[in-house]
Amino acid sequence: HTARLARVAGRVGALDDRLKRGPEGWRHRLALIEASDLSWFAGDRIGTDRLALWISMRISGLQDDTAALARVGWAVRRLTGGPGPEVDLSAFLDRRDPENIADEAEPFADRAGGWLDLMAQVAELHPITRACMGFHLWSLAGLGQQGDRIEAAVTAARIVASEGKGAIFAPLAMGGAGGLRAGGPPADRLARWLDGMETANLTAMRHLDDIDAWSARVEAAIRPLSGRTPPALCAVLTEWPLVSAPMAEALTGASRAAVQRNLAWMEARGLIREMTGQGRYRMWRATNLSGYPQ
């Protein structure tokens, strides 16, 4: 797997460099997409539209599972910053032992410590290989619980990018989460992991190419316009895959009228298009983006 590992490491490095040179909003955008894809992999199925409304305004629909939203919200927070998992795993996972733990129960701190010890023993391995091991050892170390597959994947994504300068995480689930499937001997799992990572990193790069080209088009189009709302709205549409008018109002600080006027102006020029949605939850996204999210 050496040649394949080197190729995937090159893809991760290229994405890291691209994010280092790009606007801050790109990291946030990729984190939202990755978190949404991880939620589909884990069976929670939180789309980017529901995730955007939840993260930006804490809005959830009647049918939404708030525990699932909390899990995917945690994923976004950990994919956008904060200390890594190997500093303090309990803090990273927001999990602590209860005061009145049952005598026969193994404390979470001990289980987390056991997993960290295993990771320390393979410290000389490449971060991509270590992340794969950490992911597959997760339930073996007794760290499994509801939502544990999201936790394990986010932890692994951070480990891969632990030496990065621009990327806070390396995508694992974009373009399909095949690399996260369990089963088979370790060599097969690593091969799947590398294939999945290559797909995810290529998907992320293609997405950044698209949003970069879109930003250039929008900047040229809004140059004649006055006021601070057009560039602020452009920044919000770069940072968030889907945006509602109330979201844009909250994130830009502009008035509802200014936001709606500018959204209509951009839509009329084919720079954004409305996605399906009802009433105040109508949502818009940048046009001509291949892949994510449709």
CB contact set of 23 (below 8 Å; sequence gap of 6+): 235, 238
> Is residue 39 a contact partner of residue 75, using CB atoms and an 8 Å limit?
yes
Q: State the Cα–Cα distance between residues 171 and 31, nearest whole angstrom.
A: 8
Q: CA quadruple 187, 201, 275, 73: dihedral positive or negative?
A: positive
**Between the CA of residue 236 and those of 56, 59, 162, 212, 272, what are the distances in Å?**
11, 18, 27, 14, 12
> Is residue 135 a contact partner of residue 156, using CB atoms and an 8 Å limit?
yes
Q: State the Cα–Cα distance between residues 83 and 235, nearest whole angstrom.
A: 26
What is the signed CA dihedral for 30, 36, 41, 44, rounded to 10 degrees?
160
**2-205 and 210-286 share one fold:** no
Residues of the chain below pLDDT 70 = 62, 101-104, 146-147, 276-280, 290-294
Query: Which pLDDT value is given to residue 146?
Result: 60
Closest CA to 276 of 40, 105, 49, 32: 49
CB contact set of 140 (below 8 Å; sequence gap of 6+): none
In the block, which residue shows the tokens 């990273």?
92
| Phi, psi torsion values for 173, nearest 5 degrees | -110, -15
Tokens, residue 9 = 């490491």
Report the half-sphere exposure of 157 (CA within 13 A, side-chain side): 34
Q: State the Cα–Cα distance between residues 67 and 87, nearest whole angstrom.
A: 26
CATH of 2-205, one of 1.10.3290, 1.10.490, 1.20.950, 3.40.50: 1.10.3290
Tokens, residue 201 = 């990193």
CATH topology of domain 210-286: Arc Repressor Mutant, subunit A (1.10.10)
> Is residue 289 a contact partner of residue 270, using CB atoms and an 8 Å limit?
no
> Is residue 157 a contact partner of residue 78, using CB atoms and an 8 Å limit?
no
Query: What is the reported pTM?
Result: 0.93
**Between the CA of residue 57 and those of 81, 91, 123, 194, 251, what are the distances in Å?**
20, 25, 40, 36, 10
State the CB neighbour count (10 A cutoff) for residue 43.
10
State the CB neighbour count (10 A cutoff) for residue 58.
9
Q: Where are the domains of the chain?
A: 2-205, 210-286
Query: Which pLDDT value is given to residue 277?
Result: 58
**Long-range pairs of 214-222 with CB within 8 A, sequence gap ≥ 24:** 214/238, 214/271, 214/286, 214/287, 214/288, 214/289, 217/271, 218/266, 218/271, 218/286, 221/266, 221/269, 221/271
Q: State the Cα–Cα distance between residues 206 and 229, nearest whole angstrom.
A: 28
